[in-house]
Structure 1
């Protein structure tokens, strides 16, 4: 299924169609980055939907990642969650242990396609990394992205160890014929160490993807109004903001 995504709108307003947001691991800022992109798109007058195929580690009545995106980016952002599992594990493992049904790539692609028919931008936020298993057949977020022909935005940590995981994910994308839209540092520290500062220049080289943003540490704790006002300053024009990678590198070199 092709949702008609182009990745970048070509109008200077950021991405359009369907964009898959993945990461090099867990707890690295995917949800906050997704919220920032959504907030920038809404500020530009565009309609936005966020799809969370599998939410893990959250109880039936607790707010999940999609709800957090809506809280930060604004009530105008439409959210949808396909499955929820109580234990904080990979979706396939969490589903097996809970006795609940898994979510396959076709289901993800169908849901994203329907949302894309009604919205300018659909952000599909994965769980963990690109190749985390979603179902019994071993399908992953990469398989859903391939069905959608959607570009993948990779959220990465700032510090030591990120180069290897970014390089491996970039290689996995290219091996599957997927487009890597770019990289965003999910939690840029207030006092970055030497490795973090050096990684700004090295991440694009090892991943073969451009650096498209850096979200400051603890941005998710801002008030929603402050978050929405600041979000465009964390993202490059390709993501709907006015952040400059060259200026950021100069500031931290």
Structure 2
């Protein structure tokens, strides 16, 4: 796996922090890593974007590349049209990822929002770039109520396009999870049909870079170069089942 697509079930669910954690874990495992952000929206010309955040958290050895930047926080196609800037094609994304893969052990391609957010007027999405690259897709999902439907729909969209969903990572695991979040640990793999590959604690992006790099492998399963194990995590957090009623 030299190229991995990182997509979310929506926005503001921890996708950039998960990308940074995978990068940090891979670097700790001795790999050279690049992070590609095809379309950065909602960030000014002199502000750091998501790729720069991955370098800040995962370490200066990580290569960052951003292909397009649009000032308004909108879907890439909409943001491009409103700004008058060129839209981004899946071919351009794939070519950039392949160039990075020629010089790095692992390339992480972080999407914008969900899997089927439009990148250009022809309706191309991150899924089209993933198909050109024949790359697996890591799904980042929130912990709480509603995530089962969104995650399952994302996985169904991947499989309908003959794409491989690698697994799901909870992007922001609460310090005090509610009942829905705890139940979802077991229900996510059952509903979506993909393994749970990690849970990144909420507010991890606020850690110091040194602490982030040290902890990142403990949040992710071995396929993502970490040491996290689903079974003990689920055992710790799973709610007890109701006992039989008396009478």
**Which of these two proteins has the greater Rg computed from alpha carbons?**
2
> 1:44: how far off?
1.1
SS class of match (2:85): coil
* Equivalent residue pairs, number: 238
Query: Which of residues 12, 21, 40 is equivalent to 1:36?
Result: 21
Q: Give distance in 1, aligned partners of 2:181 and 2:31.
A: 34
Kindly indicate whether residue 127 of structure 2 is the aligned counterpart of residue 142 of structure 1.
Answer: yes
Query: Which of residues 181, 199, 202 is equivalent to 1:217?
Result: 202
Which residue number corresponds to residue 180 of structure 1? 165
* TM-score scaled by length of structure 2: 0.96
Pairs within 5 Å for 1:41-190: 41-190=26-175
> 1:92: how far off?
0.2
* TM-score scaled by length of structure 1: 0.94
Deviations 1:47-83 (A, max 9, x none): 0000000000000000000000000000000010000
Q: Give distance in 1, aligned partners of 2:164 and 2:179.
A: 30
Q: Which runs of 5+ in 2 are unaligned?
A: 239-247
Q: Give distance in 1, aligned partners of 2:147 and 2:92.
A: 31
> 1:94: how far off?
0.3
Q: Give distance in 1, aligned partners of 2:31 and 2:4.
A: 15
Q: Give distance in 1, aligned partners of 2:154 and 2:29.
A: 31
* Coordinate RMSD, CA, aligned: 0.4
> 1:45: how far off?
1.1
Q: Which runs of 5+ in 1 are unaligned?
A: 1-15
> 1:109: how far off?
0.2
Moved more, 70-79 or 201-210: 201-210
Which stretches of structure 1, 4 residues or longer, exceed 6 Å deviation after superposition? none
Moved more, 214-223 or 37-46: 37-46
